[in-house]
Each structure stands twice: as structure tokens, then as C-alpha cells.
Amino acid sequence: MRKISTLLVAVASASALAACGSSADLSSDGGNGGGNTAAPADLRFVTVVKLTGVGWFNRMETGVKEFATETGIDATQTGADDAGPEKQVKIIQDLIPQRPTAIAVVPNSPESLEGVLKRARDAGIKVVTHEASDQKNTDADIEAFDNTAYGAHMMDELAKCMGESGKYANFVGHLTAKTHMEWAAGAQARAQEKFKGVTRVADPIESQENTGVAYDRTKELLTRNPDIKGIIGSAATDVAGIGRAVQEAGLQDKVCVMGTSIPSVSEKYFADGSIDKIFFWDPAVAGKAMLKIARLLAEGKQVEEGTNLGLPGYESLKRFPGNATTFHGNAWIDVDKSNAAEYKF
Amino acid sequence: MTGVRTVAGVALRNAHVTRLVALTLLLVVVFSALAPRVFPTALNFQSIAYSVPEIGLLALAMALTMITGGIDLSVVATANLAALTTAGLYIAAGGETATSPLLLVAFCAAALLVGMACGAVNGLLVSRVRVSPILATLATMQIFNGIAILWTDGEAQYGFPDTFLWLGDATIAYVPVAFLIFIGAALLIWHIVSRTGLGTRIVLVGANPVAARYSGVDERGVLMRTYLISGLLAGIAGIVIAAKSTSASPDYGGSYVLLAIVIAVLGGTDPFGGRGSVAGVVLAAIALQVLASGFNIMRLSPFLYQIAQGLILLVVMVVELRRGRLLERLRGLLTGRPG
Amino acid sequence: MRLSRLRGENNEGLLAGLIILLVLMMGVVEPGFLGPATLTNVVRSLLVDLTFALGMLVVIISGGIDVSFTAIAIFSGYGVIVLMNDLGADGTVWPFALAALAGAVLGGLNAAMVAGLRLPTLIVTLGTQGIVRGALIAFVGSQYLSNLPTGLESLARSDLFAVTTGGGTARMTLLALPVAVLCVLVALLLRSTMLGRSIYAIGGDVESARRVGIRVGRVQTFVYLFAGALAGFGGLMHVTLSRQANPYDLVGSELDVIAAVVIGGASIFGGRGSVLGTVLGVTLIAVINNSLVLLGVPSAWQRLAVGLLVLLGVGLQALGQGRRKSPPILAEVRS
């Protein structure tokens, strides 16, 4: 009897917490959504990134803050302390009662967020995503570029460096990292179409987003394929591990190392050619792009083919074929030792 | 009159549960004061209620195994496997068009069976092969996770019909269905632990395994059943996760293992075995999700929350388990006599 | 009789045999594998884990388990680099001493909880892991540092010796030396000192050890301080060898180290374990991990493989022990 009473007390308190408060709040009247031109100061945008504290997203935060200063909109960035999907879900879940005008998300796992993003949209919040070209529950997804075209561009540069012949390998963060896999597929398709002398030695290799793993795997690659001429990295720290391995093997001049990275991670390997070139898109600009789109949506406007966001690389958005809500710009940046000093992140 | 006295009596005799209720209310009050426009709203509490069930179920599974003096580190991996089972079955049955309630029941049952199968593996290792539960479940965690990744090529699985998603999305009288599932499961476990012979034996095996053995308690059977139930709970958690996220993924919930342990300990479970309270675990789950939401709403650094989680774990353990010894040591320090 | 001696107290012989078998198999699949480059690569890739494993070995022998070592390691390693950068200091030896000291201090938190308050080791170390890691990123820094102080950078590129063959140069890193010395020291500690014997005794049965007069609290304090120091040392070694300091590193890779120690024959029920077994366990896992690309096997199999190996290792151990422990009266009761 005692125990039942205790449990009932517990359950009652719990349910009370779950259901209390004025029920009027539960309507999906967002207050800020819809087609009215609210003053900037009334708008609130929250950017939710994959992982907080790392260089890439610190740079994105710079862009978010610039946007806030330029427009007067309350724009902030938040993120969890690890790249696990469940923490991002909780952050977004906890944002819903705060009724921001829009949430801009860079998902760790787009699929895991579908549920909570749907709830957010049901509550009248606009959702913009980045690096999530298949996200269903989004009002607009913006990619810096078409992943296949980006992969092809990397292959153009790699093949040039390799003299258009030889073997290469391609690292990805995880085999589940869709974006990385699309880059790799784009590169391989380009090689098969245009650079028939360039062949890939293996399927994409996982670095597990860990520079040490990239390093170890590269050493094995070099042992197994002593005549390899090119290696592409996908996660930002891949090329650092790859370059280090190539440097230690003394093969800087023989192996072309390129990949997606940021200057601060790779520049120390440019000097002796351990890393030949890196590619990236400026996360600050991408962050601003998301927010500009959020503003358009908040004002009741649409994002169309050809929309100009007024940002470098995003002057004429293209829609992805077959997907009405995914757009991309043309915003990749090539960096090698000649221009690394221009980028301070 | 008698009613009031009974409630007060209940509250006094279950001091731990009362403390947890007080803690939860305190947190609600503090955060409501700090964020008055956002925190004390129905939508916020509903949000919190959405996030409690999956971790609450995992914490119940964890607590049950801890009562026997063991632990189950593989609960999250098991939940993911169960979630992937429902996903795989639904995709094979046609995905979003497979709305028949019969399929819903069948596929959920399949998920529960998978959960119990994983529990059985753990149970066998702990009860028959006599492997330490820490190592056994650490290994099975890796193995189940590896199986999930290989099964899906690491990709999350989509394709649930509305009938299934209803479990994760719908509300009844503003209370999320998933939360009701959690409470239902908690009631079931409470019944098992407090009202059945199995429950008594579970507590006995945890409290004093040697005495239990010499009293003729079938320790192996008890342990096996404990891990089976833990697997079942993990399976339910998997269903809730899949329904809420509308997807199943092999890598979801990595941070939940530690959180489940914190909730179990906060809820009054003695990690050395022999003591635990279902009501405590339920309240602790709610309290910690309230805390997490509060941190999110206050835009505090997630690393501060990580520190807070670790501190809570240590402080609760010290207070609950070693209050006497700690006081002794402090007295010794102050008076100069050995503690 | 001689064959079973070869097998070793903790199945070390079996492990060695397994490693040799694997290496030979790799050699068949990929002739380039059997060369000095592989040896130096494998050694380099296992140095950090081996350092951690030595600390874990001592903890497990004492009957506990520690999952906070990765957080302590990266805190110490990253923290020392940040300190050196802030002070503009440089060096090759004193940073390691400082890192070990920092690790020991952090390990003191574990020691206080486990030795002082007798709390369960897994959960205590889970708690300290969260606190240490959170504190690192919240208070010390979250930036990826790609440039280390010159002294450490050059240490990373220093060789103990180098062998040049047709396929390239195989370099054995200088840092292999301190780790080898550590192995010898820990082995001596465990086998030849009273402290070492006490650690085994506590692992076997705490109460009995207490009654024999062993100062359990002190020995346990030593164990966790020592494990912390080794973790700190290993953390700076990791940072140095990878020539970058990333505060997000290391945490998450605890299982590989625990697996290596357990596979090497140490028993979590305490009282068993050897340095040789640990070295072999670490080598086995490193050989397996390092060969994945060679065989073209997806890395998802790696998680599965390590998990299965752990089960195999502890399972064999447990079955072996179980046969000895059942008192005759229980046989009566059960029958």
C-alpha cells in the first residue's frame, strides 16, 4: 500500500509536470511565423551546429555574429559537446518552447532529426538546414555547392598534380557520412569520365574523423601501394594525418595530398609539399547563407532558382533536381601555400 | 485527516523519493525564475516529457541490473538493434504504406524479442560463463554495435508509417504517448521488484550473493531473468527512439550509457547491489531532463553540463552510500583523530 | 610438461602464437607486410595505448577498472601544450614530467573516491571522466592546435634507429625507448616489490589483504595516482606523436585499452595479470587494427572483432576459474 502510494505520488508529479500550464500555449500559433514583416529586433534565429568548440563551427559562429550585427536580428549559435545525434535532438526539442522564428541546423544525422524538426515546424518555427540534402522536414536546405561537382573539381586538381595518371585513394570520415561519400563518388566519376589513367586503389577508406586513424591507414596504404600518387581526404583533419604520414615516409614530392580541410589545420604541411592543396567552403558564409534564407522565409518570401543571397558563391542559387527544397551555391575555395595566409581559421 | 497523515507518513518513510520530488520541484522553480517566459509553459513541460521516455527506460534497465550488483553497459546498443529491427521489417513490408495495426503489433513484438535476445546473451555470459558484468556488457555493447553497423552499412534507416510514428509523436491529454509507455513499463517493473518472488530474489542476490546461494536461491536463473528483463526494457526504449526520431540508427544515444547510470544512482540504486527504487529512477530521469532543458534554455555551455553530470554522480554516491564514512573522516580531520 | 609451461600462466604463449600466426597470414596476403616498415609502424601505433594499458593493468590487478584515463590523458597532454604556448616555453623532458604530475593529480580524484570512500570504481571513474573532460574543454581550451613547441616537434621526428630498404625508410621512433623502460619498471614493481605483491593481494580479496596487514587504502591510492601519471604521460606522448593537440581526441577509445589488458590475461576479479601479457594484448589488437586496410575489410568489423576478442579472453579465463571455485557443500545443495 505504502509503495503504491509512493509510486502514485511520483507518477502524479511527473504527469503534472508534463501536462500543467495553460493549455492555450499548445496551439501552433508561433506568434512570429507567417507572412508578416516583423521588425528585425523581433526575430530570433538560432543556429544549431554539429559540435560546439571546434574550429569549423567557431568560424561559423563568427558569421552568425556578423549577421546579427549587420541586421539587428537576435541570431545566436548553439551546439552539443559531442557529435552524437541524441544531444542535437534534445537541443532542438528544448528550443521549441522558446519559439524562435527560425532554427538553422547543421545535423549530425539528418534522419535522427526528422521527428523533432517536424515538431518544430508544427509549432510554426521555420527550419533551414545545411549539409543535409535529403532532409525531409526542412523548409530549405542550402549546400555550399553540388557535392558531385565539388568532388569532380577536387579530381581535376588532383589529376593535374598527378600528371593525369596513377593510383589514388580517398578517405571519408565515416562510410555513413553522406556528404563525404558524395564527394568521393564525384571524384571517382570524374576520373572515370575524363582521366582514364587515374585509378582508385580501394573503396573509400574510413578515417573515423580521427587524424591518427588517417595517419595509420595512410602508412598502410603506402606500404601496400608503394607507387600510389594521390590521396584525397574528406574530414578536416584527414589531410593532416595523411600529410604527416607522407612526410615521414619522405614521399612529399611523389604523392599528391589534397582534400577538404581548413587552413589552420593544414598550413604547416604546405611548406614542404606534404599537402598540396586543400578545398573548403567558408563556414561563416554558409552560416550567413542559412540565416539569410531564414529571413527570407520569415518574411514570407520563397527561395527560388536564381535567388541571390548577396554572399560570395551564393549569388545565384540552383535547385537540386528532384528535390524542391534543396539549393546549392558555388562556393568552394581552393587554398595552397600561395594563398594560405589570407585565411585566418 | 487520516489522508493527510498517511501522505505525510509515506513521504517520511520514503525519504529518498521525497528528496527527489523536492529536487525536481526546486529545479523547476529555479529555472522558471531564470526564464519566466519560456520555462513554466505547457509546451516546455511537454518538451521535457518527450525527452524523458527513452532515457528513462534505459535507466530502468540499468537500475535493474545494478540491483543484482551487476551492470548493463549494452542497453543502448540493444535499443538501437531493436529500433533497427522495426525499421528493417517495416521497410521490407513497404515502408510508409504499411499502416496495418497488425503489423504494428507484430513488428513491435519482434523488437522486444530482439531486445530479449540481447539480454539473453548478457544473461548467459554473466550467469553461466560467470564473466564480470562490466566486461561482459562492455564486450556485448561493442558486438551489438558492430552488428548494427554492418547490418545497415552504418546508415540510418527511414521508412516508418504513421501508425508507428504515432507512438512517438502523439499526445493524450497533452501527455506524450511515449511518456505513458514509460510510466507503464515503470509500473510493470515496480510490480516485479516489489510484489513478486523474483523481485525479492533479485534484491537478495544483489545484497548478499553468498547468502542467496546458500539459501537455495537459483542465482543463475535470477541473473538470467534480470538481464532478459533489462533487454526487454532496452527493446521498448528502441521502439520509442525509432518512433520519436522517425528513424533508426546504429550510432544513436552514445551519451545515454553514462546518463542512465547517473539516473540509476540518483534514483537510489546502490551500485554494489541490493537496493533500488523504481519510483526513484522515474523521478531522477525527470529531474535530470529538467536540468538538461534548463541548461539548454539558459544557453549554458554543454561542457558545464558534462561537468555537472559527473559531479552529480559522485556527490550522490558519496551522500547516499558513504555519508557515515564521510562524516567519520571529516570528524577525524577536524579533531585530529584517525577516521 | 614443457609445452604447458610455454603456454604461460596467463595464456601469454597462446597470445604470442596468435600474433605470429596473424603476421604470417598477412605476409601471405600481402608480401610487403613482412618488412621493417611494418614493425616500426606497428610499434609506433601502439606506444600510446601500451602506456595506458600499463596503468590499466595495475588498476585491474587491484580489482578495479578505470575509464577516466583517456580524459586525464588528453587533459594533461593538451594542458601542457597550452601552458607551454602561454609561457612561451619549450623543452623535451620536463613537459613529460609535468604531464605525468598533472595526470597523477587528476588521478587523485579517483584515489580519493575509491580508496578513501570505497566507492565502486567503474562508476567513480565514469564520473571523473565527465568532470575532467568537461573541465578541459570548458576551462582550458577547445581549439585545435596544429603547431607544437619546437622541442616536441623535433622529438616527434627523432628516431631511435632507421632501416633503409628498397621500399623506403623504416624509422623507429625515439619515444619507443621510454615506453620500453616503463614496461620494465612496471614489471619489476609488480613482481619484485612488496607494493606489487600488495596490489595482487588486494585484487584477490580485499578483506583478506586487510587482515594480513596490508594498508589497502594506501595501496589503492598509489594505484590510481600511478594510473593517472601514466595516463598523463601517455597523453602528452599522443599529442607529440600526432604533432597536433586536439582536446577532442582520445576520449571514446577506452575499450581498446581495456580489451588489450583483459586479453593479455589480467582478470577483473583481480589478482592476476602480467606486463608481458599486456604487451602481447596491445600488440594483438594493434596488429589486427593495422591490417584492416591490407585486407580491405570495412572498419565496422573492427568493433565486432575487438568485442569478440574480449569475450573470448574473459570467457576462457572465467571458465578456467569457475572450475576451481565451487565449494563442495553447494554441490550437495544443488543435487
Residue ranges making up the domain that contains A243: 147-280
Instruction: State the cell numbers at C125.
Output: 571513474
Residues of A in contact with B252 (CB under 8 A): 84-86, 109, 112
Total number of residues shown for chain C: 335
Residues of A in contact with B155 (CB under 8 A): 176
Q: Are residues A197 and A266 in the same domain?
A: yes
Beta-carbon separation of B141 and C138 below 8 A: no
Task: Give C168→chain A minimum CA distance, Å.
Answer: 7
Residues of B in contact with C259 (CB under 8 A): 139
Residues of B in contact with C65 (CB under 8 A): 134
Beta-carbon separation of B179 and A174 below 8 A: no
Contact of C161 with chain A, judged by CB distance below 8 Å, is answered with: no
Three-class HEC string of B215-275: CCCCHHHHHHHHHHHHHHHHHHHHHHHHHHHCCECCCCCCCHHHHHHHHHHHCCCCCCCCC
Is C232 in contact with C100 (CB distance < 8 Å)?
A: yes
Is A249 in contact with C169 (CB distance < 8 Å)?
A: yes
Instruction: State the cell numbers at C267.
Output: 582478470
Contact of B159 with chain A, judged by CB distance below 8 Å, is answered with: no
Q: Are residues A269 and A160 in the same domain?
A: yes
> For position C267, what pLDDT does the model report?
84
Q: How large is the ipTM?
A: 0.84
Beta-carbon separation of C122 and B71 below 8 A: yes
Distance from C-alpha of B120 to C-alpha of A193, rounded to nearest angstrom: 52
> For position A274, what pLDDT does the model report?
92
Contact of A210 with chain B, judged by CB distance below 8 Å, is answered with: no
- Give the torsion through C-alpha atoms of A129, A130, A133, A135, to 10 deg: -30
**Which residue among A237, A264, A280 closes a domain?**
A280
Whether B4 is covered by a domain: the verdict is no
Beta-carbon separation of C122 and B134 below 8 A: yes
- Subunits with 3+ C-beta pairs closer than 8 A to A: B, C
Count of domains forming chain B:
1
| Placement of cell 595479470 in the chain | C273
Domain with residue B143: its CATH number is: 1.10.3470
Whether A222 is covered by a domain: the verdict is yes
Other Cβ atoms less than 10 A from the Cβ of C304: the count is 17
- Residue of chain B minimizing CA distance to C331: B214
Q: Are residues A131 and A173 in the same domain?
A: no
> For position C325, what pLDDT does the model report?
54
Q: Are residues A305 and A257 in the same domain?
A: no
Whether B25 is covered by a domain: the verdict is no
**Which residue among A246, A280, A314 closes a domain?**
A280
Backbone angles phi, psi at A142, to 5 degrees: -120, 130
Instruction: For chain C, list residues with pLDDT below 70.
Output: 1-11, 32, 166-168, 292-296, 298-299, 320-335
For A320, which DSSP code? P
**Burial of B242: CB neighbours in 10 Å, binned 0-12, 13-18, 19+:** buried
For chains A and B, count residue pairs whose Cβ atoms are closer than 8 Å. Answer: 194
Give me the residue from A211, A237, A249 closest to C168, CB to CB.
Answer: A249
Per-residue pLDDT of chain B (339 residues; tens, 9 = 90+): 455 555 555 555 577 888 889 889 999 999 999 989 888 888 889 989 999 999 999 999 999 999 999 999 999 999 999 999 999 999 998 888 888 889 999 999 999 999 999 999 999 999 998 888 998 999 999 999 999 988 988 788 888 998 899 998 888 888 999 999 999 999 999 999 999 999 999 999 999 988 998 888 999 999 999 999 999 999 999 999 999 988 999 989 988 999 999 999 999 998 888 999 999 999 999 999 999 999 988 888 888 998 998 998 888 888 877 776 677 777 877 776 554
Identify the three-state secondary structure at position B71.
Answer: coil
Distance from C-alpha of A119 to C-alpha of B168, rounded to nearest angstrom: 11
Whether B313 is covered by a domain: the verdict is yes
Task: Give B280→chain A minimum CA distance, Å.
Answer: 8
Beta bridge pairs of residue C164: C169
Residue ranges making up the domain that contains B108: 42-319
Q: Which residues, 6 or more positions from C223, have their beta carbon under 8 angstroms from its beta carbon?
A: C58, C59, C62, C64, C111, C199
Identify the three-state secondary structure at position C244.
Answer: coil
- Give the torsion through C-alpha atoms of C314, C320, C325, C326, to 10 deg: 110
Q: Are residues A133 and A180 in the same domain?
A: no
Q: Are residues A194 and A269 in the same domain?
A: yes
Whether B230 is covered by a domain: the verdict is yes
Whether B34 is covered by a domain: the verdict is no
Mutate to test the interface with A, among B84, B179, B196, B246 (most CBs of A within 10 A): B246
Contact of C130 with chain A, judged by CB distance below 8 Å, is answered with: no
Whether A226 is covered by a domain: the verdict is yes
Q: Are residues A141 and A287 in the same domain?
A: yes
Instruction: State the cell numbers at C107.
Output: 588521478
Instruction: State the cell numbers at A171.
Output: 578517405
Taking alpha carbons only, the member of B290, B284, B255 closest to residue B267 is B284
Whether B329 is covered by a domain: the verdict is no
Task: Give A226→chain C minimum CA distance, Å.
Answer: 7
Count of domains forming chain A:
2
Taking alpha carbons only, the member of A224, A333, A345 closest to residue A281 is A333
Task: Give C239→chain B minimum CA distance, Å.
Answer: 22
Mutate to test the interface with B, among A61, A103, A111 (most CBs of B within 10 A): A111
- Between the two ends of chain A, the Cα-to-Cα distance in Å is 64
Give me the residue from C144, C171, C291 closest to A55, CB to CB.
Answer: C144
- For the stretch C93-116, pLDDT in tens is 999 999 999 999 999 999 999 998
Beta-carbon separation of A249 and C289 below 8 A: no
Contact map slice: B 14-53 vs A, CB within 8 A: 14, 17, 21, 24-25, 28, 38-51
Residues of A in contact with C243 (CB under 8 A): 244
Whether B258 is covered by a domain: the verdict is yes
Mutate to test the interface with A, among C52, C139, C248 (most CBs of A within 10 A): C248
Instruction: State the cell numbers at A39.
Output: 521588425
Is A234 in contact with A180 (CB distance < 8 Å)?
A: yes
Distance from C-alpha of C282 to C-alpha of C80, rounded to nearest angstrom: 26
Q: Are residues A191 and A246 in the same domain?
A: yes
Beta-carbon separation of B190 and A7 below 8 A: yes
What is the per-residue burial (b if ≥16 Cβ within 10 Å, else e) of A216-254?
Answer: bbbbbbbbbbeebbbbbbbbbbbbbbbbbbbbbbebbee
> For position A15, what pLDDT does the model report?
52
Instruction: For chain A, list residues with pLDDT below 70.
Output: 1-38, 176
- For the stretch C56-92, pLDDT in tens is 999 999 999 999 999 999 999 999 999 999 998 888 8
- Residue of chain B minimizing CA distance to A1: B10
Q: Are residues A139 and A230 in the same domain?
A: no
Q: Are residues A215 and A116 in the same domain?
A: no
Task: Give A35→chain C minimum CA distance, Å.
Answer: 40
Whether A1 is covered by a domain: the verdict is no
Q: Which residues, 6 or more positions from B97, have their beta carbon under 8 angstroms from its beta carbon?
A: B161
- Single-letter residue type at B271: P
Distance from C-alpha of B164 to C-alpha of B245, rounded to nearest angstrom: 11
Task: Give A226→chain B minimum CA distance, Å.
Answer: 30
Q: How far is CA C237 from CA A212, C99, C232, in A?
A: 13, 9, 9
Q: Are residues A79 and A104 in the same domain?
A: yes
Whether B9 is covered by a domain: the verdict is no
Beta-carbon separation of A14 and B46 below 8 A: no
Q: Are residues A204 and A268 in the same domain?
A: yes
Q: Which residues, 6 or more positions from A213, have their beta carbon under 8 angstroms from its beta carbon?
A: A206, A207, A241
Beta bridge pairs of residue A171: A205
- Single-letter residue type at B82: A
Contact of B319 with chain C, judged by CB distance below 8 Å, is answered with: no
For C207, which DSSP code? H
Backbone angles phi, psi at C19, to 5 degrees: -60, -45
